[in-house]
Structure 1
Amino acid sequence: MKNIVSVDLGSNSFRTLLYDGLNHKIIDEYQEVVGMADGLIDTNKISNEAQDRVIDAVKRSIAKLKYNPEDAICVTTAAMRMAKNSSEVLKRFKDECKLDFKIIDGEEEARLTLLAIKYALKREKKESEHFILIDIGGGSTELIINSGDSHFAKSFDIGIVTLAQKHKNSETIISELEKRKSEIAKFITALNIDLKNFNFVATAGTPTTIAAVKLGLTFATYNRDLINGTELYLEEIESFLNKFRSLSQEEIFNLVGPGRTDFIESGVFIYKLFYEILNKDKSIVFDDGLREGVAIDYALKSNK
Structure 2
Amino acid sequence: MKNEVVSIDLGSNSFRVLKYDCIKNEILAEYNEVVGMADGLVDTGEISKEAQGRVVNAILHSIDEVKYESKNAIAVTTAAMRKAKNSEEVLKYFKEKTGVDFSIIDGKEEARLTLLAVQYALKREKIDSSKFVLLDIGGGSTEIIVNTNDKYEAHSFDFGIVTMTQTYFKYHDLHNDLDIQKEKIKSFLDSLDIDLTDYSFVATAGTPTTIAAIKLGQDFFSYDRNIVNGALVNLKDLEDCLKIFENSSQEEIMKLVGKGRIEFIEVGIFIYRAIFEVLNKKESIVLDDGLREGVAINSCLLNTKC
Bin for the TM-score computed over the shorter chain: over 0.9
Query: Which residue pairs with 1:255 in the alignment?
Result: 256
Q: Please give the alpha-carbon distance, in whole angstroms, between the structure 1 residues aligned to 2:212 and 2:233.
A: 7
Unpaired runs of at least 5, structure 2: none
Whether the aligned pair in 2 keeps the contact of 1:170 and 1:265 (CA below 8 Å) is no
1:172 deviation in Å?
1.8
Q: Please give the alpha-carbon distance, in whole angstroms, between the structure 1 residues aligned to 2:301 and 2:98.
A: 27
Greater than 6 Å deviation, 4+ residue runs: none
Q: Please give the alpha-carbon distance, in whole angstroms, between the structure 2 residues aligned to 1:250 and 1:170.
A: 23
% identical equivalent positions: 57
Whether the aligned pair in 2 keeps the contact of 1:70 and 1:100 (CA below 8 Å) is yes
1:5-61 Cα offsets, whole Å, 9 max, x none, are: 000000000000000012211111000000000000000000000000001111111
Are 1:297 and 2:298 an aligned pair?
yes
Q: Please give the alpha-carbon distance, in whole angstroms, between the structure 2 residues aligned to 1:166 and 1:73.
A: 32
Task: Please list, as runs of the form range in 1=range in 2, the aligned pairs for 1:135-284 lying within 5 A after superposition.
Answer: 135-284=136-285
Secondary structure of 2:6 counterpart: strand
Amino acid at match of 1:150: K
Secondary structure of 1:182 counterpart: helix
1:245 deviation in Å?
1.1
Are 1:11 and 2:12 an aligned pair?
yes
Query: Which residue pairs with 1:111 in the alignment?
Result: 112
1:67 deviation in Å?
0.3
1:171 deviation in Å?
2.5
Q: Please give the alpha-carbon distance, in whole angstroms, between the structure 1 residues aligned to 2:255 and 2:184.
A: 36
Secondary structure of 2:30 counterpart: strand
Unpaired runs of at least 5, structure 1: none
Amino acid at match of 1:114: L
TM-score by length of 1: 0.99
Query: Which residue pairs with 2:73 in the alignment?
Result: 72
1:42-99 Cα offsets, whole Å, 9 max, x none, are: 0000000000000111111111111000000000000000000000000000000100
1:136 deviation in Å?
0.2
Query: Which residue pairs with 1:52 in the alignment?
Result: 53
Q: Please give the alpha-carbon distance, in whole angstroms, between the structure 1 residues aligned to 2:47 and 2:295.
A: 24
- How many aligned positions are there? 304
CA RMSD across the alignment: 0.7
TM-score by length of 2: 0.98
Whether the aligned pair in 2 keeps the contact of 1:170 and 1:266 (CA below 8 Å) is no
